[in-house]
Amino acid sequence: MTAQKRVMVIDNEEGLCRMMEAVLSDNGYQVTAFTRSFEALETFTARQWDIIVTDIKMPGMDGLELLQKIKQKEPSIPVIMVTAYATVEMSIQALRKGAYDMLTKPFEPEELLYRVKNALKQTALMEENRELREELVGRFHVENIIGASSSLRELLERVEKVAVRDTSVLITGESGTGKELIAQAIHYNSPRKEKKFVAINCGALPASLLESELFGYRKGAFTGASENRRGLLETADGGTLFLDEVGNLPMTVQKTLLRFLQEQEFNRIGDPTPTKVDVRVLSATNADMKHAVKQGEFREDLYYRLNVVNLHLPPLRERKDDLPLLAAHFIRQQNEKFATAIKGLTPEALEAATNYHWPGNIRQLKNVVEACLAMESGEYIGLPVLSQFIEIAPQGDAGVVSNIVEEGEYARALSRFETEYLRGLLRKNGGNVEAAAKEAGTNMATIYRKIKKYGIRKDEYAG
């Protein structure tokens, strides 16, 4: 609502200043007017105002100097400069110092309202885009990959290290272990995170179509090529290309891809002119690539280009400690999606799930949880329902699970992790929230919100 928007107006002409204050107030804005720039600057604090409207020509400290000092305190706040002497040079100078817009005297009240409304609208859109980008990064942050087993922690430590280095990574592991999720975590924690993450399944397309999808083609290159078309490499320019099931690449495509990795350029099909792009290539496979190289099914030189760093994902059967957390996570997702209230697994069902070998890994577990929630009529997923979707081993000496794994257990485990993580960050940075936020790759508001949520006193860690 516009009534919530706070406007600071500064102009040494008292009559004009009061006129702007009246016009804006009458249209629902909360306005504070100043006729002295020094007083306005002393009053200004970050996040207290939504927009500034200031004259340029003022005694003492002029509007351009005031603009610079305000931007030092809050770089994102929109500032509209008002002047009776709007020269091109002055406009360029004001824009370079961070002004959002210029308003030339004399002006009608409607023009002032339009400029203010437009500036606030654009700023709101920019803030929304920033929040969406942060949310996107958060979705794929390594800390949001579910699990607490030692094998997963070691893997994520390597992910964090390779993410910041612009090098090729080959992710290996069985189908369903989450290889694309790891690739996304690498991209969204890398310097390329603001650009596109483009994925393609190399085993899902025939050779001719795969080549045109990757590299694009020129109009007339083949029957049906009625226009020029960019390939995925160009689409991912500045970002990351993820080649899933890379072991299925045909030899003709392998040759072109190798040239790109060596030269950072390629030719569209039918185009003699090379195209240069800046793309990081991540790849994944569930195949034995060394065996494929020995059999002559995959180029050895390309294999070593793709496999600069290897990250291997362990199968779920080797991460049994993570199964309760993963199950609780998927139950929570399904509850939110379908407005259900399943609390978790019964002890017998959890024991059976833990003893099961999960050939389809995490993907299979997610599908089984979804199917169980569709069939279960009680508060907990029981053995009778679970046995419809996985093979239940005979009950023997596999060990008894004494506690029901509930959705809340996942939340408690996450809370414990976040609390210890925040304490460690604050301890390392001497209680400096800004430094802690920078190291964590998030904003200060998030850190403050978590500190309040968990009752942490940052002054305990002050140096």
Q: The tokens of 236 are what?
A: 């991912």
**H or E element that contains 330:** helix 323-338
Is residue 461 predicted with pLDDT exceeding 80?
A: no
**Domain with residues 410-461, CATH architecture:** Orthogonal Bundle (1.10)
C-alpha span between 353 and 291 (Å, rounded): 33
Give me the pLDDT at residue 91, please: 76
Q: Which CATH superfamily is domain 2-132 in?
A: Response regulator (3.40.50.2300)
Give me the pLDDT at residue 411, please: 60
Question: What are the extents of the domains in the chain?
Answer: 2-132, 142-314, 317-403, 410-461
**Domain 317-403 CATH assignment equals 2.40.50.140:** no
pLDDT in tens, 135-154: 545 555 555 678 777 888 88
Average pLDDT value for residue range 203-218: 84
Contact criterion met (CB below 8 Å) for 359 and 393: no
Contact criterion met (CB below 8 Å) for 237 and 260: no
**Domain with residues 142-314, CATH architecture:** 3-Layer(aba) Sandwich (3.40)
Is residue 359 predicted with pLDDT exceeding 60?
A: yes
Query: Fold match between 2-132 and 410-461?
Result: no
pLDDT in tens, 157-170: 899 899 999 999 99
Quick one: how far is CA 181 from the chain centroid? 12
Contacts of range 299-304, beta carbons closer than 8 Å, 24 or more positions apart: 299/251, 299/254, 299/255, 299/258, 301/258, 302/254, 302/257, 302/258, 302/261
Is residue 272 predicted with pLDDT exceeding 90?
A: no
> Can you give the three-state secondary structure of 120-137, one letter per residue?
HHHHHHHHHHHHHHHHHH
pTM of the model: 0.58
Average pLDDT value for residue range 53-61: 90
C-alpha span between 104 and 83 (Å, rounded): 5
Give me the pLDDT at residue 53, please: 95
Give me the pLDDT at residue 409, please: 55
